[in-house]
Amino acid sequence: MKTEKLNSWLTLGANVGVLIGIILLVYEIRQNSHLMRAQMSQNRADAGSALITSFMDSPYLPVIRVKLENDQELTQEETIRYMYYFRSCLVDMNNNYWQHDHGFLGDEIPRSVSDIGKRLIGRGEIGLELWDQYKSEYTDEFVAFVEEAIADLR
């Protein structure tokens, strides 16, 4: 009889211990999730800052942007440089869109991606040409989102 009571108490204690362990595990997972989101946000900010810094530090990109804004023709070298810059911007936009779509980033992201897309793709004929050339590399959802954002540019 005493053994059965002892087993009952030990079972109850073990069950309470397991329950406390599960509660602590859920708490730790939530903490880790918050830390991951903070790290992703920091990485996103770092990537954006690096992109802006690379533009500012480049002896080529500001000249290309001025030419595009003044409807001047780019040299072949400038066109190649702009193509790579354009693609790096698309990769960043796609990443931000994907992270938002999966619940990792805030509600401001679609507006931000849309605005950046309009500015990037709306830089003369080259923007639309490059978008049409590279859009097959992205998901249908991202392409549809960008297409909707730039519909008034076509």
Domain range for 8: 1-45
In a domain, 51, yes or no: no
Question: Does 50 map to a domain?
Answer: no
Q: Is residue 81 part of a domain?
A: yes
CA distance 103 to 92: 17
Indicate whether 2 and 69 sit together in one domain: no
Residues 79 and 147 in one domain: yes
Do 98 and 139 fall into the same domain? yes
Q: Note whether 80 and 139 are same-domain residues.
A: yes
Helices (H), the chain: 2-57, 61-69, 76-101, 109-121, 124-134, 140-149
Task: Classify residue 112: in a domain, yes or no.
Answer: yes
Asked whether residue 66 falls in the same domain as residue 33, the answer is: no
Q: Is residue 90 part of a domain?
A: yes
In a domain, 100, yes or no: yes
Q: Residue 53 domain-assigned?
A: no
Q: What number of residues does the chain have? A: 154
Residues 62 and 40 in one domain: no
Return the structure tokens found at 6.
């002892």
Using a cut of 0.85, tell me whether the model's pTM lies above it.
Answer: no
Looking at the structure, do residues 71 and 39 belong to the same domain, yes or no? Answer: no
Residues 146 and 114: their CA atoms lie apart, in Å, by 7
* Euclidean distance between CA atoms 67 and 78, whole angstroms: 10
Q: How many domains does the chain have?
A: 2
pLDDT tens for the 154 residues of the chain, in order: 688 888 888 888 889 999 999 999 999 998 888 888 778 778 877 887 887 888 788 899 999 989 998 989 999 999 999 999 999 889 888 988 888 888 877 788 888 888 888 888 887 789 999 999 999 999 999 999 999 988 887 6
27 and 80 together in one domain = no
Q: What is the pLDDT of residue 2?
A: 80
Same domain, 15 and 72: no
Q: Is residue 39 part of a domain?
A: yes
